């Protein structure tokens, strides 16, 4: 931590006043205070004192869900901590989260901090506020124009991780589990059949050994490149797991986990294999923080997915499901498609996926639409797919390329109208798929669909 000057003290007082004014105006003040801090005092983080124990959670998919599980568990068990669950995962969000627990002199008043961190922002955060523990859920290709390739993101992270940081890594991800190779480390993963494995994905972000270039041998692949593999010509390969899921019972809603502190059963938070990975990630972190097995079990007994990620309700005998399927993220969307095809019952899918954020730019990129495994929706249980929005023809083309019957698809110009085109007689389950930037439109679709179901299909 560098020596503070007048600029730092003036900035911290100014942003405290700005935060209070924003909250009086009904604003959340979750990002702007940190942004102001960086504008007034560049690299503001370097002048703030670090909490005694600092965990960063990063990765392409799952970091928000894992962070929320951790925060809920710590609250339930009476732990004093700070996190950025209500703010951004950029350097400005970290500042905003830490400020309420920091004195005007920059001294930390908290012993434990759990922070979700965007992988790309590690160079703006790690050098100034170094983590004691770094958790990486996984690394996949994400937005092509923002993140390039998974190995590009891996190299950015790897160049920023301090030697003293303990790594908590996905043992089944051969891209992220070799981060900071010389550091103390522990691995989590699934050590049993998961019931939803899908080795036939379009995208596999690692197929060759990064050390010698040989083609990797995989004992199994759960999805994309997540699995157990090794190089036939050198020592590169999957490690042994320290935190692992040894059994999954979807019918009873439990899984069995094994940790260095013993084995126990946990209530499932969802039926997607990604939910299982999020659970064992959270178990590893909570154990490393110091929670007992009993405290972790108690936490999962009441844990649930955030409504902004997944929500389900019964309406007139039909199930209406709101499901986040991140735009520009072909892996996340593919996982959702795979999950839907494994669910029981006849389904209707309403796509609310136009990426408004990308549409603001002159260089809109629709490659992600064609990287998604829409082939998973070529299933007899999926009776209708309604596509809305200005890009509906691009989605329709890709679905046709996936072999989905044209008779199953309906297109409309406006996303908010998709519910009007749903055939209510075809489905037992209605999935509204949306991305981060279309949640408002998805909520309109949800309300329209509920109203139609209650009125027997009449507007």
Q: What is the pLDDT of residues 407-427, one digit of tens each?
A: 999 999 999 999 999 999 999
DSSP, res 450:
H
pLDDT score of 278 = 96
Mean pLDDT of 228-236: 96
Instruction: Dump pLDDT digits (tens) for 161-176.
Output: 999 999 999 999 999 9
d(CA 143, CA 155): 17
SS3 141: coil
Mean pLDDT of 323-338: 90
- List domains and CATH numbers for the chain: 6-302 (3.40.1190.10), 310-454 (3.90.190.20)
pLDDT score of 433 more than 90: yes
pLDDT score of 445 = 95
Instruction: Dump pLDDT digits (tens) for 12-35.
Output: 888 888 888 877 777 766 677 888
Bigger pLDDT: 437 vs 224 = 224
- Residue 430's nearest CA partner among 439, 138, 438, 421 is 421
pLDDT band at 202 (very low <50, low <70, confident <90, very high): confident
Mean pLDDT of 218-242: 96
pLDDT score of 457 more than 70: no
Instruction: Dump pLDDT digits (tens) for 237-273.
Output: 999 999 999 999 999 999 999 999 999 999 999 888 9
d(CA 426, CA 327): 27
pLDDT score of 183 more than 60: yes
Cα 203 off chain centre by: 18
- For the chain, give the mean pLDDT: 91
CB proximity list for 65: less than 8 A, separation 6 or greater: 278, 305, 306, 309
pLDDT band at 199 (very low <50, low <70, confident <90, very high): confident
Lowest pLDDT segment from 134-148, 321-335, 381-395:
134-148
DSSP, res 4:
P
Burial class, 425, CB count within 10 angstroms (exposed 0-12 / middle 13-18 / buried 19+): exposed
The pTM for the full model equals: 0.89
Answer yes or no: are the C-beta atoms of 61 and 274 closer than 8 Å: yes
């Amino acid at each position: 931590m560098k020596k503070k000057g007048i600029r730092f003290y003036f900035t911290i007082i100014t942003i405290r006043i700005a935060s209070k004014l924003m909250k009086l105006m009904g604003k959340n003040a979750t990002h702007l205070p940190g942004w102001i801090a960086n504008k007034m005092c560049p690299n503001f983080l370097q002048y703030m004192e670090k909490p005694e124990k600092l965990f960063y959670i990063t990765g392409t998919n799952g970091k928000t869900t894992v962070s929320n599980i951790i925060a809920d568990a710590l609250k339930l068990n009476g732990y004093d901590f700070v996190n950025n669950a209500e703010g951004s995962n950029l350097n400005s969000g970290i500042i905003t989260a830490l400020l309420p627990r920091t004195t005007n002199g920059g001294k930390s008043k908290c012993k434990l901090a759990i922070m979700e961190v965007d992988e790309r922002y590690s160079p703006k955060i790690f050098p100034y506020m170094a983590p004691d523990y770094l958790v990486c859920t996984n690394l996949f290709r994400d937005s092509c124009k923002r993140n390039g390739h998974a190995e590009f993101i891996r190299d950015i992270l790897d160049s920023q991780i301090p030697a003293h940081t303990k790594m908590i890594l996905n043992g089944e991800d051969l891209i992220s589990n070799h981060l900071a190779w010389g550091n103390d480390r522990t691995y989590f993963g699934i050590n049993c059949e998961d019931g939803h494995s899908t080795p036939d994905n379009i995208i596999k972000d690692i197929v060759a050994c990064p050390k010698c270039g040989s083609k990797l041998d995989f004992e199994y692949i759960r999805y994309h490149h997540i699995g157990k593999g090794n190089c036939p010509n050198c020592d590169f390969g999957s490690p042994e797991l320290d935190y692992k899921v040894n059994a999954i019972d979807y019918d009873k809603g439990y899984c069995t986990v094994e940790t260095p502190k013993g084995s126990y059963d946990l209530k499932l938070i969802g039926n997607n294999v990604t939910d299982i990975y999020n659970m064992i990630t959270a178990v590893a972190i909570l154990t490393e923080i110091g929670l007992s097995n009993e405290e972790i079990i108690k936490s999962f007994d009441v844990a649930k997915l955030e409504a902004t990620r997944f929500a389900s309700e019964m309406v007139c005998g039909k199930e209406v499901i709101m499901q986040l399927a991140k735009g520009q993220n072909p892996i996340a969307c593919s996982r959702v498609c795979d999950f839907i095809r494994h669910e029981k019952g006849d389904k209707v899918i309403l796509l609310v996926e136009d990426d408004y954020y990308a549409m603001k730019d002159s260089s809109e990129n629709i490659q992600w639409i064609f990287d998604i495994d829409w082939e998973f929706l070529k299933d007899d249980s999926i009776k209708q797919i309604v596509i809305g929005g200005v890009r509906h023809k691009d989605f329709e083309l890709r679905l046709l390329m996936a072999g989905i019957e044209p008779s199953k698809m309906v297109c409309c110009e406006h996303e908010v109208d998709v519910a009007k085109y749903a055939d209510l007689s075809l489905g037992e389950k209605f999935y509204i798929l949306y991305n981060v930037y279309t949640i408002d439109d998805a909520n309109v679709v949800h309300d329209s669909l509920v109203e139609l179901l209650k009125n027997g299909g009449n507007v």
